[in-house]
A and B are shown apart, each in its own frame.
Chain A
Amino acid sequence: MQASTPTKAIPFTTHLINFITKWGSVLTIFVLIIFFTISMPNSFLTTSNLTTILRSISIVTVIAIGVTVSLTINGFDLSVGSMATFADTLVISMFVWHMLPTVPAILVTIAVALIVGLVNAFLVVKIKIPDLLVTLSMLFILEGVAMTYAGGGSISQGMPRLDGTPTFGTLPSSFRLIGQAPYIIIIMLVVVAAVHIFLNYTKYGRYLYVVGGNMEAARLSGIPIDRYRTLAYLISASLAALGGILLASRIGSAQINAGAGYLMPAVAAAFIGFSVAGAGRPNAIGTFAGAVLVGVLENGLVMMSIPYYSMNIVKGAVLAIALAFTYVRKK
């Protein structure tokens, strides 16, 4: 009954700690913004730079939202980075090799992602391999599949296939557009909003959380837990694929391991998101805040001309601090 007597005088330090654990990550974002604004008064806090930040975090956010959904059922999808790479490769090949229009190309890619999600779910739910291991294997498999499919190299407009067959496909301008500034940001915001609504206002979202909270109790409440665990992996794979498609649109080609770099920031964003506003569980808005934190940090560091090879030191350290807010109070 501890929590039923909140009227007792709680020491100020407890309040402070509570406040920091709830709003620490958001606070960090503001501290970073203030710091960068003071360091670079003329360039950091401008509309164009803020747009740049939002654009640059779009892909990470979309992938991180997928990871978030896999976390709701107490799972973990590590294969999202490779899934993005594979989606990038697939969608570009649809245009360049098979000359498909935009919509079918995207649909084929998402369909393949759903199959990958099903395989993940099958191995986790039916074969009962721990999720971390399944998705780690899938990480390698997809990396290999993408590379093998592309013939060990990259794919871009006008480049012949590995066997020398010339290609005639081009990237449609409509496809080019979705990676450009307002659209990519709008897509990201729509994904965040949709998943937020899905997780908090539909029974499916509620069930995902319930399954993640206590699988046995959920099972004995008559919730078809296997179905919901599968659903989570389907969502995380398709959002990773969407991230890969956005990536393809941005860079206009399929590159080896192009998506691999998104895994860690996405995972970090999802975990930072746990604590935002005291949610205490994976949630879409929190993940978005986590991605903003990562994006602001990266952008500021680039603008301060920190050498790229040293940037990971700062990035890692700040992530650790942000994550400390999430976990410091957990017993």
Chain B
Amino acid sequence: MKDISIEFPGVKALSNVNFTLNNASIQALVGANGAGKSTLMKIMAGAYNHYTGTILLNGEEVNIRSPRDAKKLGIEIVYQEVDTALVPYLSVAENIMLNVLVNKMGHKVMVHWPAIHKAARQILKRLNIELDTNEIVENLKLSQKQMVLIARAIAEDCSFLILDEPTAPLSNTETEELFRLVRDLHDNHNVGVVFISHRLPEIFEICEEITILKDGKVVTHQPIEGLSVNRVIEYMLGQKLSETFPKRAVEISGPLLQVHKLTEKEGAVRDIEMVVHAGEIVGISGLVGAGKTELCKTLFGALPIGSGDIKLKNKKLKINTPYAAVTQGLALVPEERRKEGVLIGEPVYSNLSAANLSRFSTPFGFIKSIAERINAKKMIKDLGIKTPSENQKVAYLSGGNQQKVAFGKWLIADAEVFIFDEPTKGVDVGAKHDIFELIGNLAAAGKGVIYASCEFAEILGITDRAYVMYDGMIAKELDTKSTTEEQLLFYSTGGK
């Protein structure tokens, strides 16, 4: 791939990227969040058609503008969200042979099931995968679903396979199994593999070459031999533009929230030990998929707690639903703003009162409409929400303003501990600044703040102390003042 550039509204995601892949190697593609890894691979797989640059295959220029073009050239991609590519209530055989069933039927009308199953079994055998082709895909484990997708990819002539963060949801043994498969593809089937991962130790285990991206540009492309984890991290970070953070000095007092041996029911987060003091901003750092969101949701009762306990002001909390969490003084601004944070079909004023409507109701539950609107107007002014009026539907506000509405909702609710999950995602710089200031004000008012983010610069800029998560557990606790981005990335990628 030569001189690949692509722009999205407002961002230049890739600029003049050159990327070479041999069909005899396993290549790692790494970079910090937003470096452009997935975008580059999506271009190669034909998911975008508005890029510039050329793609050459065996020295010849090819035109990849749709997934169909890519498939014809033998380029297959397995996205991280396997469920989006599988039909859950069909059998393994049908899922593996899906492309054949869809595209290669020609004028045939009847499906020849024995042949389909036989072909599927042969593919599985070639890959040394033990799976019953009659099994319904819904019943499979995540790792098995991935294997079905890989099997589908090689059901047709596949010469290049892209795996986008395949190990993020897998356990250790499942990861081992995947690696065996990838090595087998490479050794015996002459398939070139691109392996995107945030887990650096894995990359050193399985890859031969590495390409490192940073801010949409290639930093280096070299054999992995002779590199160290630390060196890769240096490449990934480079010189980062420093942002300004309005961090206020706040006196930190006694412990407010204490978490002991907290484990989510399905093990999404395990053995969490953490403390949040009054007036303190505590960061939850870690890469995408490390379990930050899951931790936030478990604390808030949105995911079921398996074991462990949470204490607020030395009083043990019983949190089984978000409702219980709210009544006991917790607040969560979730990551998926449009899906979970705001009610996009509702006007601003009813969003702002949604978490504490009782404050605006009479004893019989009648809404004090005037009080509600006065409060909404005040919030809009205090938070600087840009909206024509409090009656505007939230759907029509910009991302940053929607986020401010999601904040405002909780400011009214008067919580003790505020949990923010990636609050600056998709928010412009100006609104970001406002959001940091708001969070600083909360701390200054003696509240406890938990700030989860995969942006290391933010963690370093705004928090007092940070926990680094890796694979659903807290890998390290760091004092922010004496921490660098290198250290955060080191622990986030599984360093010990």
Contacts and interface: CB of A to CB of B under 8 A. Distances in A.
A2 B366 CA distance: 33
20 contacts: A2-B396, A4-B387, A202-B367, A203-B360, A203-B366, A204-B365, A209-B346, A214-B344, A217-B340, A217-B343, A218-B354, A219-B321, A219-B322, A220-B302, A221-B322, A222-B325, A222-B327, A223-B323, A223-B354, A224-B321
A207 interface: yes
Interface string A192-227: 000000000111101101100110111111111000
Contacts of A218: 343, 354
Interface of A: 1-4, 201-204, 206-207, 209-210, 213-214, 216-224
Contacts of A202: 361, 364-367
A1 B396 contact: yes
Contacts of A224: 321, 323
Contact of A220 (B340, B357, B396): B340
Contacts of A3: 392-393, 396
Contacts, number: 80
B396 A217 contact: no
Given A1-B396, A4-B392, A203-B358, A222 B340 contact: no
A206 B339 contact: no
Contacts of A217: 339-343
B332 interface: yes
The 5 lowest CB-CB distance pairs between A and B, nearest first, are A222-B326, A203-B357, A224-B323, A202-B365, A203-B361
B409 A221 contact: yes
Contacts of B413: 222
A4 B397 CA distance: 9
A204 B340 CA distance: 20
A90 B112 CA distance: 57
Nearest to A227: B323
A243 B131 CA distance: 56
Contacts of A216: 339-340
Contacts of A203: 357-358, 360-361, 365-367
Interface string B362-398: 0011110100000000000000000110001100111
B357 A222 contact: no
Contacts of A209: 346
B31 to A, nearest CB: 31
Given A1-B396, A4-B388, A219-B302, A214 B326 contact: no
A213 B388 CA distance: 23
A219 B396 CA distance: 22
B350 A1 contact: no
Contacts of B201: none
Contacts of B120: none
B345 interface: yes
